[in-house]
Amino acid sequence: MTRSDDWETVYEGVVRRVGAPRTWEQAEMAGCLSADGIASHRAAGVLWRLPDIEPRLEITIPQRRKAVLDGFVVHRTRLLQPVDRARRSGIPVTSLARTVIDVALEVPRIAPGLVNHVLARRKVPLALLVDRLKAQGMVGRSGAGGLMEMLEERRGRKRHVDSELQRRFEEIALGGYRAGLLPEPFFEYPVQLRDGRWRYPDVAYPPPVMVGFEAHSYEHHSTLEAFASDVERNLELFGEGWMIVPITAVQLRDPPRLVAVMARIIAAAEARRG
């Protein structure tokens, strides 16, 4: 396609610079350009940094269009509205809500954790997930009925917890309160930063105490990026006068000791502010 020795053809109409590093994102973008498609399903899940999703080359194109790309899974759809489109790292991609629905239907085993994740992290409103699932149609779609039941079940919940570690920690904190050993805990307590953004400590004791405890699991914090993100969030809360204390599964093995340590930390914070 090109006469320059500096470029090589990837797909018809798509070229790359010779010698440039080959990356998964580059390959995904090339497929999108070649087929005039949009990154979707697990590829979109990776771009949205959703948990437990391995990189895979996948795109979605309109129902009547045809495309064959080596190494790609190509999906066709009758419905891809503007609300279903976004961009991540410059790559056209299905919206987060549409991505969650597509992945949940394609990989049912991770659907519960995926839905819990985006709801707990306040990334997508539950109503939007329900709306986009209905918009795509329920009839004849494998797994759509079960996914809708899952979403409807979550309508009745006031809060959505992302991990079993956090659930266990909340139970211990609540038990300490009921036993008269700890103040009343507030779960995912909203703290507004000075720039208007919000942060939500897992277990918090609001002003005048201003102590928060964060449940840290190795599964969700095993990468440098995830670890650095948590540190950054804690620094932001420190800047607002909060003390943030990390808790791991090791501490949860001994609930009485954990409650006693939490009580001492809270008492120390109260003494400093008193």
Lowest-confidence segment of 73-77, 97-101, 254-258, 270-274 by average pLDDT: 270-274
> How large is the greatest C-alpha to C-alpha distance in the chain, in angstroms?
78
- List the one residue out of 214, 116, 220, 211 whose CA is nearest residue 170: 214
Q: Over the stretch 115-124, which tens digit does the pLDDT of each residue have?
A: 888 887 767 8
d(CA 222, CA 241): 28
Q: At what angle do helices 96-106 and 126-136 cross, to 10 degrees?
A: 60
Sheet of 203-205, strand order: 186-187, 203-205, 211-215, 243-247
Report helix, strand or coil for 134: helix
User: Cα dihedral angle (12, 13, 17, 23), rounded to 10 degrees?
Assistant: -70
- List the one residue out of 262, 43, 232, 220 whose CA is nearest residue 121: 220
Q: Return the percentage of the chain with pLDDT > 70, whole number.
A: 91
Q: Are 67 and 48 within 8 A, CB to CB?
A: no
d(CA 146, CA 148): 5
What is the chain's Cα-based Rg? Answer: 23
Each domain of the chain, given as residue ranges in start order, spans 7-155, 164-273
Spell out the residues 6+ positions from residue 61 whose beta carbon is closer than 8 angstroms to its own: 35, 36, 37, 38, 67, 74, 75, 76, 77
DSSP state of 184: P
Residue 104 has pLDDT above 80, yes or no: yes
Question: 134 vs 77, 97, 131, CA distance in Å?
Answer: 14, 12, 5
Q: Over the stretch 214-232, which tens digit does the pLDDT of each residue have?
A: 988 766 555 777 778 888 8
d(CA 248, CA 82): 41
Q: Which amino acid makes up residue 47?
A: L
Output the pTM of the full model.
Answer: 0.57
Indicate the pLDDT class of residue 1, thresholds 50, 70 and 90: very low
Phi, psi of 92 (to 5 degrees): -65, 130
Provide the terminal-to-terminal Cα distance of the chain, rounded to the nearest Å: 74
Residue 158 has pLDDT above 80, yes or no: no
d(CA 50, CA 39): 14
Given the candidates 3.40.960.10, 2.40.50.180, 3.30.70.120, 3.40.50.2000, the CATH classification of the domain at 164-273 is 3.40.960.10
DSSP state of 21: P
Q: Over the stretch 27-48, which tens digit does the pLDDT of each residue have?
A: 999 889 988 899 999 999 999 9
Instruction: List own/partner pairs for 106-115 with CB under 8 A and 24 or more apart.
Output: 106/41, 106/42, 107/42, 107/53, 108/143, 108/146, 110/52, 110/53, 111/143, 111/147, 111/150, 112/150, 113/51, 113/52, 114/50, 114/51, 114/52, 115/150, 115/151, 115/154
